[in-house]
Amino acid sequence: MEQDLLASDPQELAEAWAARRAEWLRVQAVLKASGWSVYEPERDSVGSAWAAERVARREQALAAHAAHVKQRRAAADEVQAEVWVPAGPGRLLRQVAARAGLRPQEVLAQLAARLVVDDNGAVSVEAFVPSR
């Protein structure tokens, strides 16, 4: 809450203070209209509803942020590449993909998933049949 009051943008700071002032004026009006000597949030249906909405929005924002962070971590391990394959191997790749009902890039992804690197740094792939 105090973090909001330290906003670096003067417009955000002004809006935060205006919202707080409006809420305090509303609370003052509730106290005057109800005759309460002390504000009791649980008896203020409007304030309680707004508080519940704020909590729900905060939880939703935190969940969305956590999902975004998780997705970014997963994406950091992925590699996307544009590969130009010469005509001869490209035709073979398209034939293999067509037989498997896949796109050529899906066959290449399966090929990459099966890469094996030995102690000398040699890269190989054991024979496999691409599949869905």
64-92 pLDDT, tens per residue? 999 999 888 887 777 878 889 999 999 99
Q: What gap in Å lies between CA 68 and CA 62, rounded to an integer?
A: 10
Query: Could you give the percent of the chain with pLDDT greater than 70?
Result: 95
Burial 42-80 (b: 16+ CB within 10 A, else e): eebeebeeeeeeeeeeeeeeeeeeeeeeeeeeeeeeeee
Mean pLDDT of the chain: 88
Looking up tokens 């394959």 gives 85
- Banded pLDDT at 41 (limits 50, 70, 90): confident
Per-residue pLDDT at 50:
83
DSSP 118: -
Q: Does the pLDDT of residue 39 top 80, yes or no?
A: yes
pTM score: 0.44
pLDDT recorded at residue 78: 79
- Is the model more confident about 91 or about 47? 91
Confidence of residue 4 (pLDDT cuts 50, 70, 90): low
Q: Distance between CA 102 and CA 94 in Å, rounded?
A: 9
